Structure 1
Amino acid sequence: MCRCLLLGLVVLGLTGCASSQQKPIPDDPFYAPVYPDTPVTRTAPTGSIYLDSQATSLYTDLRAHKVGDIITVVLTESTKAKKSAGNQVKKATDVNINPLYLGGNNLTIKGNPLDARYQDSMNTNRESDADQSNSLSGSISANVMQVLANGNLVIRGEKWITINNGDEFIRVTGIVRPQDITPDNTIDSPRVANARIQYSGTGTFADAQKVGWLSQFFLGEWWPF
């Protein structure tokens, strides 16, 4: 009875945790773009059809540098991890008791000499290997959300693509240095500090690849057996 009650509580807890996780949705307010305020300019009428506020210099830097600007992040992520471990334990025990003598004669039991020998050995050899690699390529445009006191830019953006029965999305957040932005207003993802890059999907195909909550319990660290 106690085991059934305990298992029921665990199932309810896992169900509650699974239901509390929010699925990503498009137009998340956290990734909403920032629109800069239109500056108010006061110009004296000169009769000219060109205004100084609308003029653009040929030497103007078009790279992102203020809130609301757009910067393109080129995703060139590649990771590889490899681990190998080995463990070998050997142990041997050999105890030999020669025939015992008493008064110059061998001690016997029913005519058999009294001696003993014990021999034991153990050899354990364990090996484990792990090899994992991941890569992500593409590009995503992000908004400049904040300009820090040292001039670095806080960027954030997302891209949603609807394919067949599901949606795929890419999200990126991080901090970039203006010096790392190329003249064509792009930056490689390895140069984004404190980067958070998320590539996933929602829908039928994404749900089919997920492990159920009961399987997660039996495969997780909470399963005692």
Structure 2
Amino acid sequence: MKRLVATTALLALAGCASVVGDVRPFEPIAPPVAAMPGLPAPAVAPVPTNGSIYAASAAAQTRGLSLFEDNKARYVGDLLTIVLVESTSSRSVAQTSVTKDSGMSLGAPVIAGVPVTYNGQSILQAEVEAGREFAGAGNSTQSNRLDGEITVSVVQALANGNLLVSGQKRMRLNQGDELVQVQGIVRTADIGPDNRITSDRVGNAQIVYGGRGTLARSNAMGWLGRFFNSAAFPY
């Protein structure tokens, strides 16, 4: 029984160690997403009609023929290139210092002009001193920058004309896998003539960049080190 418990614990620790450093991707949006909170209702596809020279083609029943239309993404399945221009910087400084000193002294009492002693030693004289000191300091500086491009696809056309887009890119480089994921809401007016849009104009953006594999785990702290640096450590 003890051997079974030890084996189970080792397997659990090995499983925890195997995922340390790996990026945790979010689940890509899959149509339909009409029930997502905070999003407008999806647009209703037009019903194709027959008997007109501008009727929808058989290959794209939900897309009508337009005389004036550019190459911008506007329909479900269209591709859109997002230019990543993310840059963040933060700094936090905290310093605390607490000092407290206290003391008390009680002289030897005298009764009827005679000090109270025992074997020549004063027994009622007392003196107490106490001191307490605490000092703490913290300094945190973080800066992140993400540049690049990723092509996503339109998942849903919302009723207000905005587009819900989602996409990912996976690259295997040397001994690790690189993952880039982007999803959010874009306005068709923000899409450039070259069918590109910067990431700072993506609403409700979710951007994930990271890696998996040996190289990613080598840059992460182990589970025991994370325990000693957590709030659960008593010292």
Calculate the TM-score normalised by the size of structure 1: 0.70
Structure 2 residue runs without a partner (length 5+): 31-47, 54-64
Q: Which residue of 2 aligns with 1:35?
A: none
Name the SS of the counterpart of 1:63 in structure 2. coil
Mean Cα deviation higher: 183-192 or 10-19? 10-19
**Corresponding residue for 2:196?**
186
Give the Cα separation in 1 of the matches to 2:213 and 2:50: 49
CA distance in 2, matches of 1:110, 1:8: 69
- Equivalent pairs counted in the alignment come to 202
Output aligned runs, 1:1-225, within 5 Å. 9-15=8-14, 30=28, 57=67, 59-113=68-122, 114-210=124-220, 215-217=222-224, 219-220=226-227
1:86 Cα deviation (Å)? 2.1
The change in CA–CA distance for 1:64 and 1:93 in structure 2 (over 3 A counts) is same
Given that residues 31 and 158 in structure 1 are in contact (C-alpha distance below 8 angstroms), is that contact kept between their aligned partners in structure 2?
Answer: no
Counterpart of 1:137 in structure 2: which amino acid?
D
**1:219 aligned partner, one-letter code:** R
Q: How far 1:65 moved relative to its partner?
A: 1.4
Q: What is the aligned-residue identity percentage? A: 36
Which is bigger in relative contact order (C-alpha 8 A, separation at least 6)? 2
Give TM-score scaled by structure 2 length. 0.67
Between the aligned partners of 1:110 and 1:131, the Cα distance in structure 2 is 66
Report the 3-state secondary structure (helix = DSSP H, G, I; strand = E; otherwise coil) of the residue aligned with 2:192: coil
| Structure 1 gaps, min length 5 | 33-38, 45-54
Secondary structure of 1:133's partner? strand
Q: Which has the higher helix share?
A: 1
* Correspondence for 1:52: none
Per-residue deviation, 1:94: 0.8
Task: After superposition, give the CA deviation of every residue in 1:135-177 in whole Å (9 maximum; x if it has no partner).
Answer: 1011111111111122221111122334344443322111112
Change (3 A) 1:163 1:40: farther
Q: Which amino acid aligns with 1:188?
A: T
SS of residue in 2 equivalent to 1:65:
coil
Superposed CA RMSD in Å reads 3.9
